[in-house]
Amino acid sequence: MERRSPSPTPPPAPVLVAGEPRFVNAMRLSLRQWTLVASFLAAVLLATPWVWQRIERFDTGLDYRIPYALSKDYWLYERRLHRITPSQIAVVGDSVVWGEYVRPDGTLSHFLNEQSETPGRFLNAGVNGLFPLALEGLVRYYGGSLHGGRVLLHCNVLWMSSPKADLHTEKEQRFNHADLVPQFLPRIPCYRASADQRLAAVVDRHFTFAQWVNHLQNAYFQQQNFLQWTLDETSGNPPSHPNAFKNPFAQITLTVPAERTDDPDRGPDSPRHKPWSTTGRGTTRFDWVPLEDSLQWAAFQRLVTLLQARNNDVLVVVGPFNEHIMAEENLPAFRRLREGIVTWLVEHHVKHIVPAVLPSELYADASHPLTEGYRLLAEGLLSESVTRAWLGNDRTAVR
C-alpha cells in the first residue's frame, strides 16, 4: 500500500500592524511628486502636436485641397487654414466647392484664380462629404484662422431636398462627419450615437492631442487605430492579415499624403466625369423641406451669423442647382425655397449671388458641375457687380 506524504503546513497569515504599509513594494507619491507628474504629462500633451506641426512635411500648392482620404482629418484642415494670408479668400463649402468629379485644376477656386489673374488668391477650403450641420461645426471649432477675412460661402440647397437629406427623419441614419454635428442641441432625430460617443466628439473638438491622434490614424493608418490597422484583413478566402507583422512606426513617414494625380474617379478622363443625362430631360421630384422646418438651413443661418460675429466679410453663392434634373411640376417649390433663402440673406445684410443655371450637359448630378461647368460658373461670378465690389473691398487692415 502506497504511503502518501503529509501535506505541507501552510505558512501563517501575515499579521497586520497598525501604521505599517500593507504592500511592501508600494511607492507612494507626495503631493509635490504628483504635481510634477501631472505637469510632465500636461507638457507632453500640449507640446506633442505643436512639435509635430514643425517636423511633419505638409506641402500645399496653388490648387491644394484636402485629399479625399483625409476628409475627416480636421486637425489638418485647421493647419491648412493657418497658412491663409490676409490677401487670400477662402472658398468654403461641401463637395461642390471641393470638386467631387474634377481634379484640383478643375475646381471653382482654380478658375476664379485663373480668370481673375491672381494665382493663389482663392483658396479651396471645401471638404468632401460636408453638409451645413457639419460645415457649421467645422468652421466653429477648426476655422478660427478665417477670423476677419473674406469668405466665399457656398449654399447648396441639395441638403433641403428631402427629409432624409435634411437629417430630419426619425429612422436611424449613418452619415459623414458625424463628429462635427451638434451632439446634443439642436436634436438631430436620425442621429443615434451613444452618450459616450457624443461626449468623445465634444472632447475631441477642444483637446488638441486627441485631434493629433486622429491625424495619425487618417494620414498613416487608413483611418484606423493601431489595433484595427494591425488586425486589418483582406477579402480573400481564407482572409490574410497583411499588417500583422509590420512595424506600425514605419508607417509614419512624417510627410502628409498628397492627393493622387491619377485619381481614376475624377477628372475628364474618369468614367464618372460625364453629364447626368444624354437627353437633358428631368423627371426627379424632390420632397423639399420648408425652410422653417429645416435643420440644415438653420445650421447654415447659424454659420453665417458666426462668420459675421467673427468680423468676416461674407459673400454667399446660392447654387446653381441643376434645375434640368427636376420634373416641371417640382420647379415652383424649389424656386419658392430659393426665394426664401435670398429673402433671409437680404434681411440680414449678407452679400449674395444667385448664379444662372448652367447648361444641362455641364452637370454631373443634381448639384455638382463638371470641369467646364466650374469654368463657366467662375466666369459668371466674376462678371457680377456684387463680386467686383466685394473683391475691391480691402480687408487686409482688419487682419
For position 286, which CATH number holds?
A: 3.40.50.1110
Phi-psi region of 202 (alpha: psi -120 to 50; beta: other; left: phi over 0): alpha
Average pLDDT over residues 319-324: 96
Given a cut of 70, whether residue 28 has pLDDT beyond it is yes
* Residue 248: predicted pLDDT: 87
Average pLDDT over residues 255-272: 93
Average pLDDT over residues 193-214: 94
* Residue 399: predicted pLDDT: 34
Task: Write out the DSSP string of 273-286.
Answer: -S-S-SS----B--
Confidence band, pLDDT 50/70/90 cuts, at residue 11:
low
Q: E strands, 287-361, where? A: 313-318, 351-353
β-strand 122-126 against 89-93: which pairing, if any? parallel
Q: Is position 3 within any domain?
A: no
Confidence band, pLDDT 50/70/90 cuts, at residue 30:
confident
Q: How far is CA 162 from the centre of its chain?
A: 22
What residue has cell string 443655371?
Answer: 357
Given a cut of 80, whether residue 236 has pLDDT beyond it is no
Q: In 3D, which of 105, 85, 112, 80 has the Cα closest to residue 390?
A: 112
Q: pLDDT tens digits for 143-194? A: 999 999 999 999 999 999 999 999 999 999 999 999 999 999 999 999 999 9
User: Which residues, other chains included, contact 248 with Cβ-Cβ below 8 Å and sequence gap of 6+?
Assistant: 221, 226, 229, 230
Helix axes of 195-206 and 208-220: crossing angle, nearest 10 degrees: 100
* Residue 20: predicted pLDDT: 57
Q: Is position 39 within any domain?
A: no
Given a cut of 80, whether residue 72 has pLDDT beyond it is yes
Say how far apart CA 51 and CA 227 lie, in whole Å.
Answer: 25
Q: Is position 220 within any domain?
A: yes
Q: Is position 247 within any domain?
A: yes
Q: In 3D, which of 278, 307, 302 has the Cα closest to residue 92?
A: 307
Say how far apart CA 362 and CA 118 lie, in whole Å.
Answer: 25
Residue 257, number of CB atoms within 10 A of its CB: 14
Say how far apart CA 168 and CA 163 lie, in whole Å.
Answer: 5
Say how far apart CA 345 and CA 360 lie, in whole Å.
Answer: 27
Say how far apart CA 221 and CA 228 lie, in whole Å.
Answer: 9
Domain count, the chain: 1
* Residue 241: predicted pLDDT: 82
Average pLDDT over residues 17-35: 70
* Residue 328: predicted pLDDT: 95
Say how far apart CA 391 and CA 379 lie, in whole Å.
Answer: 14
Asked if 323 contacts 357 with a C-beta cutoff of 8 angstroms, the reply is yes
Q: Is position 261 within any domain?
A: yes
Q: pLDDT tens digits for 306-315? A: 999 999 999 9
* Residue 3: predicted pLDDT: 59
* Residue 273: predicted pLDDT: 97
Say how far apart CA 130 and CA 135 lie, in whole Å.
Answer: 6
Asked if 128 contacts 68 with a C-beta cutoff of 8 angstroms, the reply is yes
Say how far apart CA 381 and CA 356 lie, in whole Å.
Answer: 10
* Residue 396: predicted pLDDT: 45
Residue 124, number of CB atoms within 10 A of its CB: 26
Query: What pTM value is reported for the model?
Result: 0.89
Q: pLDDT tens digits for 38-52? A: 888 888 888 999 999
Q: How far is CA 248 from the centre of its chain?
A: 26
Q: Is position 171 within any domain?
A: yes
Q: Is position 131 within any domain?
A: yes
Confidence band, pLDDT 50/70/90 cuts, at residue 101:
very high
Given a cut of 80, whether residue 394 has pLDDT beyond it is no
How many percent of the chain have pLDDT more than 70?
92
Given a cut of 80, whether residue 280 has pLDDT beyond it is yes
Domain with 189 in it: 56-232+240-391
Q: Is position 48 within any domain?
A: no
Say how far apart CA 166 and CA 186 lie, in whole Å.
Answer: 13
Average pLDDT over residues 285-293: 97
How many percent of the chain have pLDDT more than 90?
77
Average pLDDT over residues 222-232: 86
Phi, psi dihedrals of residue 179, rounded to the nearest 5°: -70, -15
